[in-house]
Structure 1
Amino acid sequence: MDLDDDIAAAVGRAWTDTDPWGFITDLTALGSRMAASEGEQRAADIVERAFRDAGLSRVRQDTFEAPAWHRGETTLRLTAPAERAFDAIALPYCPAGEVAGELVDVGYGTPDEIDAVDVEGKVAVASTTTPGDSRFIHRMEKFGAAAEAGAEAFIFVNHVPGQLPPTGSLTFGEEAEIPAVGVSKETGAWLTEYAGEGGMVELTVDAETVPGESQNVLARTGPDTDQSILVVAHYDGHDISEGALDNGCGIATLVVAARVLAAADLDIGVRFAAVGCEETGLLGSEHLAATTDIDSIKSVVNVDGAGRFRDLVAMAHTSAATADVAHRVSDATRQPIDVHEEPHPFSDQWPFVRRGVASLQLHSDSGERGRGWGHTHADTRDKVDDRCIREHGVLTALLVRELADEGTEVPPLDVYDLEEAFRDADFEPGMKAAGLWPDDWE
């Protein structure tokens, strides 16, 4: 790929830059970056400084109201056929409460598996993963299906070994109806065995959801034009870990791209948004979309998952135009980018995609099914390879520059084609369970 002297120099600097490692060190050293918390605010301040250091303009924080979920103590105790205690953690938006009931194993927690057993008045136990021949079934769909079938509580079992109970939001921005907790794979093995023996448990959760405040960190570069490219990444993380992979790597990748783009001669402007509260319901990006003139956005690039693993993945969410840009940049740089055109709603591009904005979500793939270390205590800085962050930051910048080229046409999404794509991908049940299915798609 032929690069102008300005951007070529910036790409060269990015290749050996130590700032990404320093940035992710500062971010992960904070500990919890839970949505609408003091830790998230401190993280926003770090991102704001990084944006200024990258040479961006109009850097500011935009605050918005957001529910703050506070995790208290959780106890899980087997009462029959033996007595013993297990470690468990409540999932965000879990209500406080006490439940006693019979264990029932619902396997992967697919709707068919839940329908096949009697969960009413019982405590459903489901795996975090899904069968290899099945569509992806999100945690919220499993939880929603169990609650709708009458379960008294829900236990989410990690499929990754290592005594790692998983976390993850139960809803998009409101307290759930029944308690739900995460347990390790090892604990799950005991619970499913006891479920076959008429096992009984008592679950107590101390948690609360209260009014709070979060913030998006905004900036821009390039000329003032009627349309611009919007680049987003969430910087919040779950309170049980450092959030290095999810999404420390993603926001660090965005900062690398910002440094490169700040030196580029762009046809149209590029806006940057580090968004809060992604992990608790895409609340920062929902606020951003609601306060943005959608017609002024040519395309959205969401950096969620990039920088974690070696090769970049670009999800085009039904946009042939953004998929074509990803293919062109991959071919021109001889850097592999795995391009997928099918949509999904579970990241910060969704508030824009459903409004018809063509998007790319930049991810990376470990080759394994599921989140791996994400959403567990093990999501720590030692898992990070900042070479991936630097390389993906450069590729992100080149993708954005291509989208910002006046010669690159990016038509808005056809909402009817989008709806059909979500139906074809069988997302309708999961999105309805999570409250994400648009009303006008009924």
Structure 2
Amino acid sequence: MNLSNIFESTDFVHASGTKEELQVAEFLKAQCEALGVPARLEAFRVAMGEIESAHLFADGKEITCKAFNCCGSGSVEGELYYMPGTDPVSIAGAKDKIVLMDTQGVGFFVYQDLIKAGAKGIIFQYGNMYYPNTDIDQRDLREAVVGEERKVLCAMIHSSQAVELVKNKVKNIRLEVSQKEYDGESHNVIAELPGRRDEFIVLSAHYDSTSLSHGAYDNMSGCAGLLGIMEQLKGKELNYSLRFVFCGSEERGLLGSKAYVKEHKEELDKIVLNINLDMIGTYMGKFISCVSAEDKLAHYISYMAAEIGFPIEAKTGVYSSDSTPFADSGIPALSFARIASSNVAPIHCRYDVKEVMSMEQLQGDIDFLVKFTERFANAAVCPVAREIPEKIKKELDEYLARKRKEQ
């Protein structure tokens, strides 16, 4: 398998629910089949928005913005309120205001607080005012964030413009949005290497990108990792089957892995472990594992890596990736990643391209992952307890916005 070809063939933006995302899904399916492993696409619904027009006026002067997909249509006007914090006093000041935040998006509880406080609309900011480009990311107002509350118009502006709004003490904001909202489709790509047992290990990685990114590091690298594991273990006798799930729409709230566990609910008890790959193979960066399972698994990973001479930092916790829905379904799960500095390999921006990847390092990461996977695939009995520790359950509740994070 030619690793470079994987990145060259997917060297374009392929965001959730687009024809480009489907193109990458079909490419990955073809790569599995080229290895002699049958694969299929499983479709699932994603909320989509097609922005027809978006205008933001600051004291009558128009500034460039991108409206959030799925935030609704209409016009809203009000006093600008810059809100750098989300404490109760700051939230209280949002009544009847257009709120400017320091962030690129908003979580469930902050959105709920803002709506209950009476915010008329929300403006977010993206980018770095000292960089030469003035990109603005395209975001969406997620259904999971809105919950039972109403939608308000939301838009993203560049950070340089946000500074100008505050510096010039802009008083009035008018935001106008027109968009078509509809149900779209995303896809998971599923392939399997059979084993002797009826139970199996799920290996996952997402393949979608954000709206500005070619998604080489985040996360075609993880998909290349899955294909590398598949190539090295195909044709071998395995005790546990290996099911490979290339997840769509991870960047919009883990939608692919959430759809997978929902649609395959009747067979979740047959999954003994989830191994998720999200960002590996860069020239620089520390290799880590985040384990949403018993502490013993994190210790095992550390010991095994030391035994074979592969530096790794393993810890328990909840990782912001496709391992999370599996852990939330009671399946022991872990994510592997090589975490590089954003100065070396940035994500969610125009600089996440194939040039940040090291094929030599990627192959080294794959070789370690093959050894790890093969040990568990050939275990007489999977040694990991099928029980999610209480501290992990608490983190899952907080991450998935079922409970507020304790301050």
Matches within 5 A, 1:89-104: 89-104=66-81
Partner in structure 2 of residue 5 of structure 1: none
C-alpha contact (below 8 Å) 1:233/1:302 kept by paired residues: yes
Matches within 5 A, 1:31-46: 31=13, 33-46=14-27
Alpha-carbon offset, residue 355 of structure 1? 1.4
Distance 2:299 2:233 in 1: 21
Distance 1:112 1:167 in 2: 29
Partner in structure 2 of residue 68 of structure 1: 48
Distance 1:62 1:245 in 2: 24
Q: Over residues 280-330 of structure 1, what are the superposed CA-to-partner deviations in whole Å (9 max), with x where a residue is unaligned?
A: 332221221123211110100121233355332211024324323421332
Q: Secondary structure at the match of 1:28?
A: coil
Partner in structure 2 of residue 282 of structure 1: 254
Q: Secondary structure at the match of 2:222?
A: helix
Partner in structure 2 of residue 375 of structure 1: 348
Distance 1:298 1:395 in 2: 20
Matched, 1:338 2:313: yes
TM-score (norm 2): 0.85
C-alpha contact (below 8 Å) 2:15/2:210 kept by paired residues: yes
Q: Structure 1 pair 277/368, CA: closer, same or farther in 2 (3 Å)?
A: closer
Alpha-carbon offset, residue 398 of structure 1? 2.4
Matched AA of 2:210? H
Q: Structure 1 pair 437/224, CA: closer, same or farther in 2 (3 Å)?
A: farther
Distance 2:339 2:239 in 1: 32
Matched AA of 1:279? E
Q: Secondary structure at the match of 2:20?
A: helix
Q: Secondary structure at the match of 1:182?
A: strand
Q: Structure 1 pair 140/417, CA: closer, same or farther in 2 (3 Å)?
A: closer
Task: Indicate the larger mover: 309-318 or 225-234.
Answer: 309-318
C-alpha contact (below 8 Å) 2:196/2:239 kept by paired residues: no
Alpha-carbon offset, residue 177 of structure 1? 0.9
Distance 1:93 1:351 in 2: 23
Matched AA of 2:118? G
Matches within 5 A, 1:99-138: 99-107=76-84, 109-112=85-88, 114-115=90-91, 118-128=93-103
Give the number of equivalent residue pairs: 394
Matched, 1:401 2:401: no
Distance 1:223 1:394 in 2: 21
Matched AA of 1:356? G
C-alpha contact (below 8 Å) 2:293/2:327 kept by paired residues: no
Distance 2:357 2:286 in 1: 14
Partner in structure 2 of residue 22 of structure 1: 5
Task: Indicate the larger mover: 226-235 or 139-148.
Answer: 139-148
Distance 2:361 2:181 in 1: 37
Task: Indicate the larger mover: 317-326 or 41-50.
Answer: 317-326
Q: Can you give the 5+ residue segments of structure 1 that lack an aligned partner in the other structure?
A: 1-16, 130-136
Task: Indicate the larger mover: 410-419 or 177-186.
Answer: 410-419
Matched AA of 2:70? Y
Alpha-carbon offset, residue 114 of structure 1? 3.4
Q: Structure 1 pair 275/200, CA: closer, same or farther in 2 (3 Å)?
A: same
Alpha-carbon offset, residue 360 of structure 1? 0.6
Match of 2:334 among 354, 357, 360: 360
Partner in structure 2 of residue 4 of structure 1: none
Distance 1:241 1:174 in 2: 23
Distance 1:253 1:72 in 2: 38
Q: Over residues 377-407 of structure 1, what are the superposed CA-to-partner deviations in whole Å (9 max), with x where a residue is unaligned?
A: 4433333333443332223222222332315
Alpha-carbon offset, residue 224 of structure 1? 4.1
Matched, 1:190 2:164: yes
Match of 2:123 among 146, 155, 163: 155
C-alpha contact (below 8 Å) 2:285/2:341 kept by paired residues: no
Distance 1:86 1:378 in 2: 25
C-alpha contact (below 8 Å) 1:356/1:414 kept by paired residues: yes
Identity percentage of aligned residues: 20
Q: Secondary structure at the match of 1:316?
A: strand
Distance 2:178 2:360 in 1: 41
Alpha-carbon offset, residue 168 of structure 1? 4.0
Partner in structure 2 of residue 240 of structure 1: 212
